[in-house]
């Protein structure tokens, strides 16, 4: 299995257009690399590709990776479908950019499939398929297992009466090689059963939005924001119940952080927070990182 981390930033990317925090300014002055918004592409054979989420940067992301470019026919594309973990805008706005794709298949939790705005609008261009998200299913040499992880609703659906789950994680396994990847970019807290879900995986691509629960009111962020990150549906890295503490106990697994918010101090490789990340055995891969599993 091949997996490409097309984007690794949280909503807004790095730099975020309306933010002058230290991390965003470092990108603008050329001392740090930019990051596009979180999205992964996976394939068992390098020919049929599936997206895990669809960021609004998807046009640039697809064009930057040769295996995802169209051809050989004038309207042929290796992109076969999209698997949504949630309905947040930074994970679904890219569906609008894919509106020219005839016959695209999109999997999502039932509540998201029923409420995501892109579904109704895309239907005016092409008839997409929205298969029911089963607990386990097969895709072109890949086996997909689904774990509900949160009932955090996108803001456009807060008044919905639909039952969750609203957020899921995916475990993708190559049936031929046995290689596997877990993708969980939105985790409100360490979910029940998550350790077992990740056990034996070649790598876990995990929610790295914030380092600390009060990050957006701290000095690194310049006092941006006023709400605890837990309310935003993202477990912090630090703390007794943070993800780094869990990772330290699971050294047999390769842990990679994605969906990193522009305020997160781990983005500065000279910071003690980045040293703590490395000390726990985790990684902070850049955009375009390719994994072979």
Give the pLDDT confidence of 164-174 residue by residue, as tens digits. Answer: 999 999 999 99
| pLDDT at residue 153 greater than cutoff 90 | yes
| pLDDT at residue 256 greater than cutoff 90 | yes
Please list the alpha-helical segments (H only) found in 93-190.
Answer: 94-97, 110-115, 117-122
What average pLDDT does the structure give for the chain?
Answer: 94
Domain ranges (residues) in the chain: 2-292
For the segment 226-239, the average pLDDT, to the nearest whole number, is: 74
**d(C-alpha 33, C-alpha 286), whole Å:** 8
Say if CB 255 and CB 283 are below 8 A apart: yes
Say if CB 171 and CB 145 are below 8 A apart: yes
Say if CB 230 and CB 188 are below 8 A apart: yes
CB contact set of 154 (below 8 Å; sequence gap of 6+): 86, 87, 88, 89, 112, 115, 166
pLDDT at 209: 96
**d(C-alpha 123, C-alpha 128), whole Å:** 7
Q: What's domain 2-292's superfamily in CATH?
A: Ribonuclease Z/Hydroxyacylglutathione hydrolase-like (3.60.15.10)
| pLDDT at residue 228 greater than cutoff 60 | no
For the segment 89-110, the average pLDDT, to the nearest whole number, is: 96
- Give the C-alpha distances (Å, rounded to integers) separating 190 from 187, 237, 285: 7, 11, 21
For the segment 9-27, the average pLDDT, to the nearest whole number, is: 97
């Amino acid at each position: 299995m091949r997996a490409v981390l097309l984007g690794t930033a949280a909503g807004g990317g790095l730099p975020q257009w309306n933010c002058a925090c230290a991390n965003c300014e470092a990108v603008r002055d050329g001392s740090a690399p930019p990051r596009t918004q979180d999205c992964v592409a996976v394939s068992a054979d390098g020919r049929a590709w599936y997206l895990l989420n669809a960021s609004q940067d998807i046009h640039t992301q697809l064009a930057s990776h040769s295996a995802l470019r169209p051809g050989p026919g004038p309207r042929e594309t290796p992109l076969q479908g999209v698997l949504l973990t949630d309905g947040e805008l930074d994970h679904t706005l890219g569906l609008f950019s894919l509106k020219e794709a005839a016959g695209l298949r999109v999997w999502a939790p039932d509540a998201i499939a029923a409420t995501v705005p892109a579904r109704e609008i895309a239907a005016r261009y092409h008839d997409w398929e929205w298969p029911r998200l089963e607990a386990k299913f097969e895709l072109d040499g890949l086996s997909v297992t689904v774990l509900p992880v949160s009932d955090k609703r996108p803001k456009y659906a807060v008044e919905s009466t639909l039952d969750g789950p609203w957020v899921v994680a995916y475990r993708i396994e190559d049936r031929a090689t046995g290689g596997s990847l877990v993708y969980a970019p939105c985790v409100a807290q360490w979910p029940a059963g998550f350790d077992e879900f990740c056990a034996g995986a070649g790598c876990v691509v995990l929610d790295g939005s914030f380092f600390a629960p009060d990050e957006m009111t701290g000095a690194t962020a310049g006092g941006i924001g006023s709400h605890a990150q837990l309310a935003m549906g993202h477990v912090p890295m630090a703390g007794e119940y943070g993800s780094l503490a869990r990772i330290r106990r699971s050294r047999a697994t390769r842990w990679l952080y994605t969906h990193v918010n522009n305020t997160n101090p781990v983005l500065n490789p000279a910071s003690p927070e980045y040293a703590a990340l490395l000390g726990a055995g985790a990684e902070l891969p850049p955009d375009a990182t390719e994994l072979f599993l």
